[in-house]
Amino acid sequence: MAEAQVQKVEDLKKETMTVQELAKKVEELKRQIENIKPGAEDRVSIIVFSGDLDKVLAAFIIATGAVAMGMEAVMFFTFWGTPVLRDPKKKAGGKDLMGKMFGFMLPKGRDAIKLSKMNMAGMGTAMMKSLMKKKNVASLDEMVETAAELGVKIYICEMTMGLMGFKREEFIDYPNLEYVGVATFLEQAKNSKVQLFI
């Protein structure tokens, strides 16, 4: 009789443990559901803040990869990322002193940007470009062309342009390029499945 009662108590403990485990799993599932953004669109939104060669390459690799997977891709170039899109062949007049200084000090176009690490007075950047060519890795110029072909949208921050004295006429010709404020980018980013800051 006593053994049967002990067994019943043990069985009840096991059932209680099972209920506790189920409750934990339910809570975990609830947390996962809360983290899924309702209405999230199949898009990657990337803020390109850096003007370093390796980081800009990474941004374009992600953007073109996303489009190849059937997603949309939006890149928002701001601050030090903005000069990457300047066209070295184009000139823009009517700049004030600060605009001229920024224009002179910052790189003009993709060929003028350097690695974030191990640049070694330009030697590291040259080595990286040479290695990329040997290994058949697309150059930054080729990445930009591919992005244009795939329909990657590029936004240039108007506030950065005003602050640094850049003019629209000095930027590259790109089919999906727009000059926007942060609100326009955030409208795209808030419903994106993936948001990145590079």
For residue range 40-75, what is the model confidence (pLDDT) as tens digits? 788 999 999 999 999 999 999 999 999 999 999 999
Token reading at 74? 């939006």
d(CA 170, CA 9): 80
Task: Look at residue 178 and give its three-state secondary structure.
Answer: strand
Taking the C-alpha atoms of residue 158 and residue 51, their distance in angstroms, rounded to an integer, is 17
Q: What is the pLDDT of residue 103?
A: 82
The answer to whether residues 98 and 24 belong to one domain is no
Instruction: Please give the tally of structural domains in the chain.
Output: 2
* Per-residue pLDDT, 17: 55
Return the DSSP state at 106: S
Check residue 2 and give its pLDDT: 64
Q: What is the pTM of this model?
A: 0.76
Same domain? For 47 and 32 the reply is no
Residues 25 and 121 placed together within one structural domain of the fold: no
Q: What is the model's pLDDT at position 33? A: 57
In whole angstroms, give the CA distance from residue 167 to residue 182: 18
Q: Are residues 30 and 60 in the same domain?
A: no
Q: Tell whether 28 and 124 lie within a shared domain.
A: no
d(CA 186, CA 180): 11
Name beta bridge partners: 110: none
Do 170 and 79 sit in the same domain of this protein? yes
All residue ranges of the chain with pLDDT < 70 are 1-19, 22, 25-26, 29-39
| Per-residue pLDDT, 95 | 84
Per-residue pLDDT, 22: 62
143 and 48 together in one domain:
yes
The per-residue pLDDT for 161 is: 93
The range of the structural domain enclosing residue 10 comes to 1-36
Can you name the residues that pair with 178 across neighbouring β-strands?
155
